[in-house]
Structure 1
């Protein structure tokens, strides 16, 4: 183990080096396949002699290893039982004794293990934690409480269930008494150590953790032990909200344990005000006063930011409860609230201006993306909006006095004007501000367009002598109320907005890019874009060149990909102008995108940036790949093949989505020579081991198969392809990808090639149906059957081929399979492309199947009934990829990271295996008439013998 430790420690060290990290990460992946790898990582974490950075890297690697390798999709252990046991024995003690940065990683690992094992497979954990609590050593106790909180906090976002209730009950039974006792111990220790700064900090942190656990235990229901002790618990909450200590007076920037504790108390009070008014309501007026006093006493220093925010969130919760909200509905009280609470917390502070100047990207993210959920401004705004909900006219009147006052001051003081604009934004917007449309509903007592024209438009237009923050306020105003402007107003506003992209100020030009992008995304009630391709195309080339210049201003990988908002704007312009990119300097645009790829592939660090980046490339491929003047593959091949060869994990899924789109859009029936080089790579097991690679690899392979049938047969590649199908078919999360590949196979090869493999395919399909009979699986199996059935003819496939192969696997299996899976599943098909395939398959069954003609005579009638049901509303399949890209879903809620992130520009339309059949109902008539003639009138005869008169009448027009 010592050799392993030294070697793995070396590799962990190398992962911290930007030049060598990729190679080291790949070597670690190999080490992770060896036995006891997780225990070696824990040994490195626990070795004090190791440098802190390597111990932390080992803790991070351990957490990630556990996330992917602890249990499978069904919750079964992937690790040997003795390794699982050792991890459980060692992990808690190790976390408790580790430094705080390592504690965080190990706490997350414990939480991951708890997801699958707690509590029934790890029922000793809570007792173990209780036994480790110390009434005298806060460091040990805090380590234990960190572990407990990391497990219990998982309950907060969950929906109630019997399982969850049993788990919480188990915890309350084993942990509840110790929790109540420890509250008293921490209280006594804080009192006893008032002058001992180190011990006091430790015990205040203990109290903080106990309040978080108080929240955890109460997040679903009120546990009896807390209900019984609620009075004494609330007394302590009251005490520590008001608690002060001169030891903490000197701190300016960082929140001390005292502010953290008060913030945690406000969090818990907010939960109780919202959820337990019956039990907690009597305490609300008293706590409202205490929290008000806290808010009035905190200064503007950064150390109080989270506390002020949490205190405001509690007041917002109080204002949300009708019987408590009345205390705020009074002009005098509202005036005091605005003056004493709202204004101090929305006014710009020196720290905000410093962030604007020194950390502009952080300023933007906090302001626009809601990452400022704990900021004073956001919390004060939410409180004001809640008051507005309760009394719109009165609150508007009160606040407007202050808006007008600050507008007057703002003629000579830009900070005062900023406060006025912010207050107006806060009261003008009603409801939530959506990512797609900004503010959809406005306060009926204000006019947002007039306010813009009178007080803000001049700041947007002015070339100089306007403070950058005033410019930002003007742009943000347009951004926020973008849905309130009509087409004509936007035609006037778009040019001044674009002009601000030329600002030398980082925040100004970034906000301009954000606003331009959102306006281009904006649609009216009919789903039509407010600004169309024709509106934006005249500016497109200059706009794109300018945006690229801003992105590429600093060419270090980290700086170049820092500003995702610029890349998002580039992406949106390319999506809106569609084929217009061909006349907007496509060579230059592609050159910029490839250059950016070559820089950021060295060290991908901003998932949003590179997501938008690959969407931009996807847009060019989607709209321009069929142009005879552009050879996209030859230009993208060098950077993309490097990404695949070097396994730049973050980018590989994007590359294969774009390559798949290129193949699908190519009119050629052959596979490009360069793609032939990739076939061996994607048929090896390694690329499929990364979960995020599976959907794009499966799609790429599905696009390769129809165009490389000769190479696949000649080079015996069908066996490894079927091996991939089998592997994906076994997993719940990958079975859909397996059927994409299977459909490509049965759609591309004749029976003579498939014969040796078909029985095993059928066996796997039936086994999976028996084990996991879900609707989504049945839908794919039905599609598979219909595809085989519909390929009646030259391919040698067809319904009788399927029946023969199925009956060879299991005698008499076809009838129950057809009656319980195929007929009911096909009836519930929703997508036109699936219904069309069902129509073609059923028609060929009725016309060409000897088995249905003679052996399954009742089945022939059932099939005809089902066909006629589908033809009541004949499915129409849109040709090609369609225009859905213009209205693609917003991407703000995409979960980046280990999973698969689909590119909207590369969306695949539904697979239509019979694109030449356009009007399927007419085709049915032509096919049936021809078949009836071919078989000497047999189809008509079967109809007369096997169908009810009413059904015969419906079928008649298709035959006559």
Structure 2
């Protein structure tokens, strides 16, 4: 234990972090290690920072090592039993900061263990509930960590059985404890010390109340609705003098957190259980109304106000409450007393604008994760407008005009009035929700373009205006970009571009956000803006200014990577520019690589990292050729990051290196730097990190394709096939195993592979027999069809084209056992051939199976081993060919979709670079087959060839087809 504590202490120092990580990794496979870490965490003799480090490590250890992808334990059975035996009792005794970390670990364990493999868990919790409120708090922390997992889950029988098991054991003691805590609150209403302990427990009780009701209202809670909701109503109004808020306190106090949790709960009941909760809604509306009016505008109350406003919005959608919201007097009071005070800019907002501008942007930006009172107030206004557009618009515009007049009387003094007016107007004008794609529908009672021209546009060109009003003007374009014509957008684009030179952080950042959004607009599924729409010199200036903004911050990696919005804009400009600024490629890549080298020292912002690599990929994508100069510029800058194992960057680097090599002239020898990577790529440690697997597979494929001669001996081939075997055995990664196998068979000298083909086929068939999944079967079928579709025409793409084809497919499978190909056809290939949702796979299957029956004598010869499968195959092919074309065809380059709203996380997940997606091999024949007519023409020609091979007897064979197939063939003139 002391050794572990010592290592944990060292890990807190940056210079020893890597060494400590390696030492812990060396210990973690030893039996008993995890329980020793838990003992460090629970040992009060160690400093809190060591205990917290241990708690975080334990949580991450459980996340990484508890189960493999097949659901098997990765730790010993002894450790599993010891952890489950000790973790609950230990956690209950820990201080809150440690409970939070261990609670997450318990949640991860419960996700796989409870209830089947840990049925005693709830009993263990219930038995600990008693008079000691600190112990009760610990029990509730554990319970909440388990039950909150239910909140985002889809309804299922398995889920409801788990919830029922918990309810049967936990509901009665839960409500009993709730009532007991309430009694103690009444008894200690004048004791701040006791109340704070009780409110801490009360907060967890309200959260668990939500957990237990999140999927459906249980019968127990419906029967006890009056008791439960009377408690909620009581504590929404609860304001004992002894808990009077400290005006200087910056964080929400416990009572505020309790009220916030209650607002969440009553919103759930309003949305989901109105049939039983409906009669109580007016009482909760009244007390929530009072709460909103009484709560001051300090930031510590923001979440409470936001949740209360969200509850009010949910009641506005209920027909039974429509009368309240239709009344013009009520509407006027809501707008003046609730909405306007909560969207008015506060001193705290102005301070945030100056002191923490990036946080101001994230809070202000529509769609930001964090909730704000302003956003919730505007949502309430929009909801009221949805119910009564005419009245709300009329009342709202009265205040818009009033505040605009105030502004005009003294613009320098009353700029806040205009800020309020613009926010109010935008909320009135928007219909529906503002999404990442902007506003799709607007209030037809208002003219947003005219309002922009008369009221907003002047702030874009007025250098004396308050910077917050300038941001409002930019945000107006951001919000209503879809309502502007292309010509207006180009004019706005030019106007906005000058604001990248503004000294205000929020102004230039919002400018970058809006420029990127304008360039992202699509019409009819196609990008509105092409490279020809924006002059090259403008693109060049934009890129230059953005790089200056990114790199002008202080030199720390964290500060450099702080503003992902600037890098997203860089990426979008590079994508739209395509090859228009290729003369700047070297300079741009140099800048991007410098940024990568800097932030690699301390990766801190996953989105910034992603879009920096996406920008490098976009530059590479639009080069006419990938030459040695480009490789010499990029590769030496990336390889040291691989060597240092900056894990957050490694998956990206593999993708970049793979793309460069995929597009390197095939006639040239493999660059030395890539040759030196072959041996390290075979290291098991590279493949252990699941985020690496897509990229490293792609890189290995690119190396094999460029230089198959590098795999000329058994010593070279065996490790590659070992990688294939590891991938194909995994239900998560088997797709990459198929990709790798195709590349191996396409490129490596078949005389070298001959000794391995039977074993390879056996591995595939064993997976089909023992642990098949739908995904595996489909990918297997596509691979078989791909091999069967290859012909001499594919020689340029496939070195082994002359050796592959229909007969190879049969021989490959039958090498395991003569005649087994027929079973594979009947049980897998034929049944699953029409279950594909993209046109490429479907075309490959049609071509491969058509080649199979038309060129292999095994199907058409009277002595053919698989002649009995000809009829079912013809039936299936006819169905595929005559069925109307399906949607979901793979995206083409002009449909490239790179969204900045995706979640990019450091960790085990793989983040794909959308600029340079992996393109699976497609036979030459399918390259132009994007229409149903062409696929039918191919099918018809091959049936003619089959008829010749059958000696002109195909017509007789058609008589054995299904009626549907005969009609389909007739419709094609066959």
TM-score range, shorter chain: over 0.9
Question: In terms of mean alpha carbon deviation, does 606-615 or 177-186 score higher?
Answer: 177-186
Question: In terms of mean alpha carbon deviation, does 878-887 or 719-728 score higher?
Answer: 878-887
Instruction: State the TM-score, normalized to the length of structure 1.
Output: 0.93
Instruction: State how far apart, in whole Å, the 2-side matches of 1:26 and 1:581 are.
Output: 45
Instruction: State how far apart, in whole Å, the 1-side matches of 2:148 and 2:677 are.
Output: 45
Query: What's the CA shift string for 1:654-702, capped at 9, x where partnerless?
Result: 1111112112222324432211111111111111101111111112222
For residues 377-456 of structure 1, what are the structure 2 equivalents within 5 Å?
A: 377-411=374-408, 412=410, 413-436=414-437, 438-456=438-456
Structure 1 counterpart of 2:924: 914
Please report how far the alpha carbon of residue 120 of structure 1 lies from its aligned counterpart in structure 2 after TM superposition: 2.3
For residues 244-263 of structure 1, what are the structure 2 equivalents within 5 Å?
A: 244-252=239-247, 253-263=250-260
Please report how far the alpha carbon of residue 763 of structure 1 lies from its aligned counterpart in structure 2 after TM superposition: 1.4
Please report how far the alpha carbon of residue 831 of structure 1 lies from its aligned counterpart in structure 2 after TM superposition: 3.9
Give the direction of change, closer, same or farther, for the CA distance of 1:141–1:885 in structure 2 (3 Å limit): same
Structure 2 counterpart of 1:632: 630
Query: What's the CA shift string for 1:206-246, capped at 9, x where partnerless?
Result: 11111111111111222222222221222222221111122
Structure 1 counterpart of 2:579: 579
Give the direction of change, closer, same or farther, for the CA distance of 1:923–1:14 in structure 2 (3 Å limit): farther
For residues 527-566 of structure 1, what are the structure 2 equivalents within 5 Å?
A: 527-530=526-529, 532-535=531-534, 537-553=536-552, 554-566=554-566
Please report how far the alpha carbon of residue 871 of structure 1 lies from its aligned counterpart in structure 2 after TM superposition: 5.7
Query: What's the CA shift string for 1:619-654, capped at 9, x where partnerless?
Result: 0111116166x7322111122111211111111111
For residues 171-182 of structure 1, what are the structure 2 equivalents within 5 Å?
A: 171-182=166-177
Instruction: State how far apart, in whole Å, the 2-side matches of 1:222 and 1:468 are.
Output: 49
1:334 is aligned, of 314, 331, 343, to: 331
For residues 556-635 of structure 1, what are the structure 2 equivalents within 5 Å?
A: 556-583=556-583, 585-624=584-623, 626=625, 631-635=629-633
- Contact 1:625-1:662 at 8 Å conserved across structures: no
- Contact 1:421-1:473 at 8 Å conserved across structures: yes
1:652 is aligned, of 628, 650, 653, to: 650
Please report how far the alpha carbon of residue 930 of structure 1 lies from its aligned counterpart in structure 2 after TM superposition: 9.2
Q: How many residues align?
A: 947
Instruction: State how far apart, in whole Å, the 2-side matches of 1:877 and 1:318 are.
Output: 40
2:106 is aligned, of 100, 106, 110, to: 110
Matched, 1:348 2:349: no
2:203 is aligned, of 208, 211, 218, to: 208
Please report how far the alpha carbon of residue 370 of structure 1 lies from its aligned counterpart in structure 2 after TM superposition: 3.8
Question: In terms of mean alpha carbon deviation, does 814-823 or 171-180 score higher?
Answer: 814-823
Structure 1 counterpart of 2:719: 720
- Contact 2:385-2:393 at 8 Å conserved across structures: yes
Instruction: State how far apart, in whole Å, the 1-side matches of 2:399 and 2:973 are.
Output: 80
Structure 2 counterpart of 1:821: 828
Please report how far the alpha carbon of residue 552 of structure 1 lies from its aligned counterpart in structure 2 after TM superposition: 0.7
- Contact 2:854-2:945 at 8 Å conserved across structures: no
Please report how far the alpha carbon of residue 946 of structure 1 lies from its aligned counterpart in structure 2 after TM superposition: 4.7
1:902 is aligned, of 905, 912, 916, to: 912
2:237 is aligned, of 232, 236, 242, to: 242
Matched, 1:97 2:107: no
Please report how far the alpha carbon of residue 250 of structure 1 lies from its aligned counterpart in structure 2 after TM superposition: 4.4
Instruction: State the TM-score, normalized to the length of structure 2.
Output: 0.92
Please report how far the alpha carbon of residue 765 of structure 1 lies from its aligned counterpart in structure 2 after TM superposition: 1.2
Please report how far the alpha carbon of residue 301 of structure 1 lies from its aligned counterpart in structure 2 after TM superposition: 1.9
Matched, 1:134 2:123: no
Structure 2 counterpart of 1:511: 510
Please report how far the alpha carbon of residue 868 of structure 1 lies from its aligned counterpart in structure 2 after TM superposition: 5.9
- Contact 1:312-1:379 at 8 Å conserved across structures: yes
Matched, 1:858 2:857: no
Query: What's the CA shift string for 1:78-130, capped at 9, x where partnerless?
Result: 22222111111111122222222211111111111111111222111111112
Instruction: State how far apart, in whole Å, the 1-side matches of 2:161 and 2:939 are.
Output: 58
Structure 1 counterpart of 2:797: none
- Contact 2:843-2:926 at 8 Å conserved across structures: no
Structure 1 counterpart of 2:796: none
Structure 1 counterpart of 2:46: 50
Structure 1 counterpart of 2:813: 806
- Contact 2:342-2:374 at 8 Å conserved across structures: yes
- Contact 2:626-2:663 at 8 Å conserved across structures: no
Please report how far the alpha carbon of residue 453 of structure 1 lies from its aligned counterpart in structure 2 after TM superposition: 1.1
Please report how far the alpha carbon of residue 578 of structure 1 lies from its aligned counterpart in structure 2 after TM superposition: 0.6
Give the direction of change, closer, same or farther, for the CA distance of 1:828–1:90 in structure 2 (3 Å limit): closer
Instruction: State how far apart, in whole Å, the 2-side matches of 1:344 and 1:799 are.
Output: 74
Instruction: State how far apart, in whole Å, the 2-side matches of 1:959 and 1:931 are.
Output: 16
- Contact 1:487-1:531 at 8 Å conserved across structures: no
Instruction: State how far apart, in whole Å, the 2-side matches of 1:536 and 1:27 are.
Output: 56
Instruction: State how far apart, in whole Å, the 2-side matches of 1:560 and 1:242 are.
Output: 47
Give the direction of change, closer, same or farther, for the CA distance of 1:938–1:429 in structure 2 (3 Å limit): closer
Instruction: State how far apart, in whole Å, the 1-side matches of 2:791 and 2:197 are.
Output: 77
- Contact 1:194-1:245 at 8 Å conserved across structures: yes
Instruction: State how far apart, in whole Å, the 1-side matches of 2:614 and 2:22 are.
Output: 27
- Contact 1:743-1:784 at 8 Å conserved across structures: yes
SS of corresponding position for 2:441: strand
Matched, 1:220 2:227: no
Instruction: State how far apart, in whole Å, the 2-side matches of 1:636 and 1:851 are.
Output: 52
- Contact 1:943-1:952 at 8 Å conserved across structures: no
Please report how far the alpha carbon of residue 471 of structure 1 lies from its aligned counterpart in structure 2 after TM superposition: 0.8
Structure 1 counterpart of 2:678: 679
1:76 is aligned, of 72, 78, 82, to: 72
- Contact 1:833-1:911 at 8 Å conserved across structures: no
- Contact 2:367-2:435 at 8 Å conserved across structures: no
SS of corresponding position for 1:631: helix
Please report how far the alpha carbon of residue 860 of structure 1 lies from its aligned counterpart in structure 2 after TM superposition: 4.3
Instruction: State how far apart, in whole Å, the 1-side matches of 2:727 and 2:675 are.
Output: 23
Please report how far the alpha carbon of residue 915 of structure 1 lies from its aligned counterpart in structure 2 after TM superposition: 6.5
For residues 634-783 of structure 1, what are the structure 2 equivalents within 5 Å?
A: 634-669=632-667, 670-714=669-713, 716-783=715-782
Please report how far the alpha carbon of residue 26 of structure 1 lies from its aligned counterpart in structure 2 after TM superposition: 4.1
Instruction: State how far apart, in whole Å, the 2-side matches of 1:175 and 1:875 are.
Output: 54
Structure 2 counterpart of 1:290: 287
- Contact 2:761-2:815 at 8 Å conserved across structures: no
SS of corresponding position for 1:643: helix
Give the direction of change, closer, same or farther, for the CA distance of 1:401–1:531 in structure 2 (3 Å limit): farther
CA-atom RMSD, angstroms? 3.0
Instruction: State how far apart, in whole Å, the 1-side matches of 2:682 and 2:243 are.
Output: 63
For residues 837-876 of structure 1, what are the structure 2 equivalents within 5 Å?
A: 837-842=844-849, 844-846=851-853, 848-852=855-859, 853=861, 854-855=863-864, 856-860=866-870, 862-863=872-873
Instruction: State how far apart, in whole Å, the 2-side matches of 1:170 and 1:880 are.
Output: 45
Query: What's the CA shift string for 1:691-721, capped at 9, x where partnerless?
Result: 1111111122222222221111246322111
Instruction: State how far apart, in whole Å, the 2-side matches of 1:952 and 1:189 are.
Output: 81
Give the direction of change, closer, same or farther, for the CA distance of 1:303–1:800 in structure 2 (3 Å limit): closer
Structure 2 counterpart of 1:834: 841
- Contact 2:709-2:748 at 8 Å conserved across structures: no
Please report how far the alpha carbon of residue 442 of structure 1 lies from its aligned counterpart in structure 2 after TM superposition: 0.7
Segments of 5+ residues of structure 1 without an aligned counterpart are: none
Instruction: State how far apart, in whole Å, the 2-side matches of 1:914 and 1:44 are.
Output: 62
Give the direction of change, closer, same or farther, for the CA distance of 1:837–1:162 in structure 2 (3 Å limit): closer
- Contact 1:625-1:631 at 8 Å conserved across structures: no
Query: What's the CA shift string for 1:295-343, capped at 9, x where partnerless?
Result: 1111122232222112111111211211013212111111111111111
Please report how far the alpha carbon of residue 802 of structure 1 lies from its aligned counterpart in structure 2 after TM superposition: 3.9
For residues 249-328 of structure 1, what are the structure 2 equivalents within 5 Å?
A: 249-252=244-247, 253-328=250-325
- Contact 2:853-2:946 at 8 Å conserved across structures: no
Give the direction of change, closer, same or farther, for the CA distance of 1:154–1:959 in structure 2 (3 Å limit): closer
Question: In terms of mean alpha carbon deviation, does 777-786 or 340-349 score higher?
Answer: 777-786
Instruction: State how far apart, in whole Å, the 1-side matches of 2:635 and 2:596 are.
Output: 12
